[in-house]
Chain A
Amino acid sequence: MSKYPYIPHTDEEIKEMLDVVGVSSLEDLFSDIPEEMKMKGELDLPASQSEGEVFGYLSKLAKKNKTTNDLACFMGGGAYDHYIPSVVNHITGRSEFYTAYTPYQPEVSQGTLQYIFEYQTLMANLTGMDYANASLYDGQSAVAEAAIMTTQMSKKNKIAISETADPQAITVLRTYTHARGMELVLIPRDGMVTSLDKAKEIVDDTVGTVIIQSPNFYGYIEDIAPFVELAHSQKKRYIIQSTDPTSLPIMKKPGELGVDVVVGDGQAFGIPLQFGGPYLGILAFNKPFLRKIPGRIVGQTEDMDGKRSWVLTLSAREQHIKRERATSNICSNQGLNVLAATVYMSLLGKKGMKEVSYQCIAKSHYLFEKLSGLDKVKVLTDKPFFKEFSIGFDKDADEVLAKLEENGILGGISLSRIDESLGNGLIIAVTEKRTKEEMDKFVKTLEEVL
């Protein structure tokens, strides 16, 4: 059996072990499987290969991709090309972290438990909320998990979400709410932001949750305060803000605005784009939701010797007890990605977090000003934006994107792909990684293309 590096048994050991078990062959270990249920023949898969062969093949596949190293990435839409400090991968690459199990045995998991506790602290401080949990799958599913929680607490059955939210978040929410028999209504946009007037018509007594994304999917900052007021105009109606956490160091915190629950995706904090996953679902919330939140949470306590230590807590909500009454079945978190985000937030710290935000806003405004100066570019709104914005033009967006790509630029997301009524145009994201040179090239190329 020694041909497989991960299977350590020698023939002699196998024989000794079979003797202890009391069977005469390895096949006999499967004699409890009814004959008709036994697989006949072999799996229709290639035979085992050496590490070099597998690595060679997969490297070849990797080289077939055109990456954000080859192309200057101005694509956003919930996934952003931010710089990842070297330290992050060195820490997440420590096998004590990545080969560890869910911290059910706290004595041998203090490392994992403590960094989750630190993450909870950083996220709570960043959002201005009372607490944060140990993370969910991604920002989009976090919208759904949070909405189900608040709507159940409201004892109502309807959720209102702004049309300017990430279309994938809306679809995920629709999928989850449909299965639970909850109703979903969209609050239309007015230009590039959510219509407050329409929201006032839609958010009636039957609505338990209002969801606004800011900055919204098109890049623009929503004025959250009046929506908070609208949501809270009735008892037991809650507002969830979905947000890009890189905007928070410079923006008024959701907690200060009176939002009940904050969700978002922490991918920007040290997690590679990797074609969509795994990312990091943020869930921060205020006290009333503490015993209802989906997912895990870590609490501080003392051990037998009075030493400060950490454990998973409030797990009665999870799979262990009361499981038939669970509001969520989530039982993992994004452990390693939580670690990446914690390391990232620690490294950047008080000033660096703000500086990344500032560079994003300064650079994105530089590009916007240059692009809006082009004859054939239509400025769609004068609303404030953070690091992402939308522009319109007459030419087919896919054609424009193709030309930009020929010039080494991933130019953004086609507006009409998201909402046909918006016509041709692009949603463009600018992170701190983009240089003036890349932006000037973007402007020059677009001018030529349009």
Chain B
Amino acid sequence: MAYDKLIFELSKPGKTGYRLPSLDVEGKDLSEYIPEELLATDELDFPEVSEVDVIRHFTNLSMKNYGLDRGFYPLGSCTMKYNPKINEDVASLEGFTNLHPYQKDEDVQGTLEALYNVGEALSEISGMDFMTLQPAAGAHGEITGVMLIKAYHEHNGQNQRNKIIVPDAAHGTNPATAAMAGYEIIEIKSKPNGMVDIDALKAVVGDDTAGLMLTNPNTLGIYDENIKDITSIIHDAGGLVYYDGANMNAILGHSRPGDMGFDIVHYNVHKTFSTPHGGGGPGAGPVGVKSFLKPFLPKPVVEKKDDGTYYLDFDVPYTLGKMKAFVGHVAILLRTYSYILTMGKDGLRDASTMAVLNANYLAQSLKENYNLPLDRLYKHEFVLAGIKDDTHTITTLDVAKRILDKGFHAPTVYFPLIVPEALMIEPTESEPKDTLDDFIKALNEIAEEAKTNPELLKTAPHDTPVRRPDETKAAKDLVLKYEGEINA
């Protein structure tokens, strides 16, 4: 019988999972510290469990998860590459973990040096002049980037620039990001070959254009051959160009957003520099800018003095303010730095090369049984338009769920929205040919099953801890916390 308990269901009055040292000062009644009317009247509704209960419970939960260390995660646009163990060891060094963020610069020179250096390296890799390390995640980097655009135009008295252009092959969060910064969004359609429609772009730019949000290669995995024209069109109209760095893993050491004409870049360090995804976070989303935007960055920024020491500079003349507390997700940035040092200029470039090789190998190997809308070179990812199925009964969801039975994580499905029945696949450089071949074999088996036993796909997955949980029910009969009695 599979483990099926909640921590609350393990609780028994009197159990404990902790021990504090005895209080070594005199303790008074709480009401002598705080007026009675401000104190809690009820007992805390928390479980009572032992340490062994806790260890077994969460270990059992972990076994219901599919992690990258267990197998292949071909998630398009999410870049699930291997998370090197040295990164974890580095980030958990006592010298890094036990630092208070209000400690003075002199106390934290080691961390500041690492942060400064990682900022420099990220600038070089993106072709930008300066980085802010503050953003907490990729999407947080996006909003930081768009707020930089806003701060810049406001400083120049260009408040009429109230529109952000977003191509339809953009990332899911781009329009929400622009909306959050108070912008109107203009969407432009891609051409059939997946590139930005230059005429459509020209038709919408004007003196109300604040900027363009774009990723290159785009979500279809295609490097836009007109990228220089695109950035020039926006610049000529007085707008700024923002690069969504979600797809950076495709071009490390091969091509740089800064050289493509972008003014602002964000990284998702988990995608490009192997920091763990952590089941949803924490991440980090450093943002790079060309030097004319440096005075607008969120404060503080990490700087180096002539004498070789490092400091946090809060004196940023036209700063947009702060995006979150303190300097950023330091522990994640240390993992980033560890990866950059380990791979170096040669290894980073080779990582992209092999990520691209893996993607193209898969695209070419899968097109027999799956629709490949554009038969061409891809960068690190590509999008299939569903399974080739004459009966038209097998959906991409069925395929994805069946893949889980075959021992793989599913690809990204139904995204990007511009491809029907999209299966978006990104193998990354860390997968060997053998794994890719097993994956191809599994997908081809599924194509065969679609013909011979479609019911098997419709009812998939069969070998997972749960099978197609009812999402409609979850949203309709909302249960968002444990409703049972704790210690019943």
Contacts and interface: CB of A to CB of B under 8 A. Distances in A.
Interface string B416-433: 000000000000011111
A299 B479 contact: yes
Most B CB atoms within 10 A — which of A36, A77, A299? Answer: A299
Interface string B193-204: 000000000000
A56 to B, nearest CB: 11
Given A6-B82, A96-B70, A346 B7 contact: yes
A137 interface: yes
A94 interface: yes
21 contacts: A6-B429, A8-B431, A21-B360, A33-B255, A34-B225, A44-B345, A48-B344, A54-B90, A81-B98, A85-B17, A98-B279, A166-B325, A175-B320, A179-B146, A324-B176, A326-B179, A335-B278, A345-B46, A349-B16, A351-B16, A362-B26
B329 A278 contact: yes
Contact of A168 (B325, B347, B478): B325
A45 B341 CA distance: 9
A295 B139 CA distance: 11
Interface stretch (A232-240, A267-275, A371-379): A267-275
Interface string A256-291: 100000000000000011111111000000000010
Nearest to B277: A101
B324 A17 contact: no
B290 interface: no
Interface string B281-292: 111100000000
Contacts of B341: 46, 49, 54, 57-58
> For chain B, which range describes its interface: under 10, 10 to 19, 20 to 34, or 35 or more residues?
35 or more
A121 to B, nearest CB: 4
A20 B254 CA distance: 22
Given A4-B347, A7-B430, A20-B364, A32 B41 contact: no
B470 interface: yes
Interface in B164-207: 172-173, 175-177, 179-182, 185
Given A134-B280, A252-B40, A111 B25 contact: no
A187 B249 CA distance: 47
A105 B409 contact: yes
A449 interface: no
A138 B253 contact: no
A61 B431 contact: no
A60 B95 CA distance: 9
B136 interface: yes
A107 interface: yes
A349 B139 CA distance: 34
For chain B, what secondary structure do more than half of its interface residues adopt (helix, strand, loop), or is it mixed?
A: loop
Given A68-B100, A352-B16, A43 B357 contact: no
A251 B350 contact: no
Given A112-B279, A125-B45, A172 B376 contact: no
B61 A131 contact: no
A144 B481 CA distance: 25
Interface stretch (B51-59, B235-243, B384-392, B441-449): B51-59
Contacts of B57: 346
Interface residues of A, number: 198
Interface in A279-329: 279, 290, 296-305, 307-311, 313-314, 318-320, 323-329
Interface string B461-488: 1001111111101110111111000000
B94 to A, nearest CB: 6
Contacts of A111: 61-65, 279
Contacts of A125: 44-46, 481
Interface in A333-376: 333-337, 339, 342-343, 345-356, 358-359, 361-363, 365-366
A107 B263 CA distance: 41
A75 interface: yes
Interface string A154-198: 000000000000101101101100111100000000000000000
A405 B105 CA distance: 13
B97 interface: yes
B255 A98 contact: no
Given A58-B93, A91-B59, A103-B280, A358 B172 contact: no
Contact of A37 (B124, B228, B346, B358): B228
Contacts of B89: 55
A327 B180 contact: yes
A45 B360 contact: no
Contacts of B91: 274
A34 B225 CA distance: 6
Nearest to B405: A107
A117 B364 CA distance: 41
A46 B345 contact: yes
Contacts of A30: 254-255, 353, 356
B86 A54 contact: yes
Contacts of B147: 175, 179
Contacts of A61: 95, 110-111, 113-114
Nearest to A171: B322
A59 interface: yes
A384 B38 CA distance: 10
A95 B69 contact: yes
A6 B321 contact: no
Chain A CB count within 10 A is highest, among B57, B95, B331, for B95
Contacts of A135: 281
Contacts of A213: none
A166 B324 CA distance: 12
